[in-house]
Amino acid sequence: MQCLAVCFVLAFCTAACALENGLMRTPPMGWLAWERFRCDTDCLMDPDNCISEHLFMEMADRLSEDGWRELGYVYINIDDCWSSMQRDSQGRLQADPKRFPRGIAHLAQYVHDRGLKLGIYGDMGTHTCGGYPGTTLDKIETDAQTFADWGVDMLKLDGCYSNSSYQEQGYPMMSKALNATGRPIGYSCSWPAYQGGLPPKVNYTLLAQICNLWRNYGDIQDSWDSVLNVVDWFFNNQDVLQPVAGPGQWNDPDMLIIGDFGLSMDQSRAQMALWAIMAAPLFMSNDLRTISNGARAILQNKLLIGINQDRLGIQGRRLIKEKSGIEVFWRPLDKGASALVFLSRRSDMPHLYKTSLKELSYKTGVYEAYDVFSERLLPQLKDSTEFGVSVNPSGVVMWYIYPVAEWKKEAGPGRFSKKLIGPKSHPHANEVDAPFLLL
């Protein structure tokens, strides 16, 4: 009965309140406060790290001044613990007056003045997960209009302090209410995560008519084990999750923790590569004021971002899971291109993995391959030619691959066209030197 109720509500909303905002045709990118800064509200003892307008203005400055905005990182997203513990006299949400003394509308204008967008957090329940006022059914229209009046560009709606029947009503109602404001507001729903993430409780085909993106699984933590847990869940369930993703509707495996404390550089490359394969939203949760050069280089890798932002919007898949600890992932891209990721779950030493493109189900032909992280063009490769690739423990090798026949058609004379690897060019596009062996 519960599943039938979900289908009925969603079927009604497909016709009556589909989001229809034209937003997020490629996975959204930006910065989100939660994993790095959580619910730190002690601005007296920790003024630089507490959830306040000061923190978000500083992050907006960094996105606009340090090259992030031009790469697509345009959202500055507030998470939980931003509001006052009480609604105002008219029943509207209001920002904590000490930590956001000039209000959210002022912060939104500050963000917009820098060519960025502001996201905010709410909860479809009596309280947020942090204990702040939630959005009850009778407050949905009020809260949607409040966010629009403030100039908010995205809403993440959590699901604490509610139940399944409440969520079945509330999430579609908020979609309709956001539409009714007349302001385009991207809508991130946490509904699937609270229903176990899988059918029959979650109908992803119908959910895609309501939300731009959705959290399917639990919160990521600052550790490699947590990254692998997320990866395992998404790829173990790829037959369910992969088909529904596409322009304007994305599975969200949660934040990028690159630049924090729990990942090595190899593990950071691995998270970035796998999120690109998944066509995942790229929301960093780190401190952009102190981020290392190594973490910055990974997050600002232009080709990798181009792969993530591929206009076809097809989510990739895991092809192979070897007993040796090597896994192979693949994503089809525009103009006949594709991306391959070789992941090592080993902890001992670099592993030489041997295979061929034919074994990975590539069609007969000759291919160009480009190493995403070393930014080097590799030798041309026939589908039947065996090769070996050396993968560091808990690391990845990622390739951008293009059929030579299509390459020549697009590029004309010569072996390589920078335009084929996304909108950003690479200074080492014509070099041939990478961890790649023809056998």
Q: Which active-site residues does the annotation give?
A: 158, 219
- Token pair, residue 356, equals 């061929």
Which phi and psi angles does 251 have, rounded to 5°? -70, 140
CA distances from 127 to 4, 122, 123, 161 (A): 27, 9, 7, 6
Which run of H or of E encompasses 303? helix 302-308
Cβ(306)–Cβ(422) under 8 Å?
yes
Closest CA to 277 of 429, 399, 406: 399
Adjacent-strand bridge partners of 339: 331, 400
The bridge status of strand 117-123 relative to strand 75-77 is parallel
| CB contact set of 70 (below 8 Å; sequence gap of 6+) | none
355/349 Cα distance (integer angstroms): 19
424/87 Cα distance (integer angstroms): 46
Which phi and psi angles does 350 have, rounded to 5°? -60, 140
Local structure of 282: helix, strand or coil: strand
Q: Which residue has the tokens 């920078």?
A: 418
Q: Edge-to-edge, what's the strand order for the sheet holding 186-189?
A: 250-252, 213-215, 186-189, 154-158, 117-123, 75-77, 29-32, 282-284
Cβ(203)–Cβ(7) under 8 Å?
yes
268/260 Cα distance (integer angstroms): 10
Cβ(426)–Cβ(303) under 8 Å?
yes
Local structure of 327: helix, strand or coil: strand
Q: Quickly count: other Cβ atoms within 10 Å of residue 200's Cβ.
A: 12
Local structure of 155: helix, strand or coil: strand
Closest CA to 72 of 20, 24, 21: 24
Cβ(178)–Cβ(187) under 8 Å?
yes
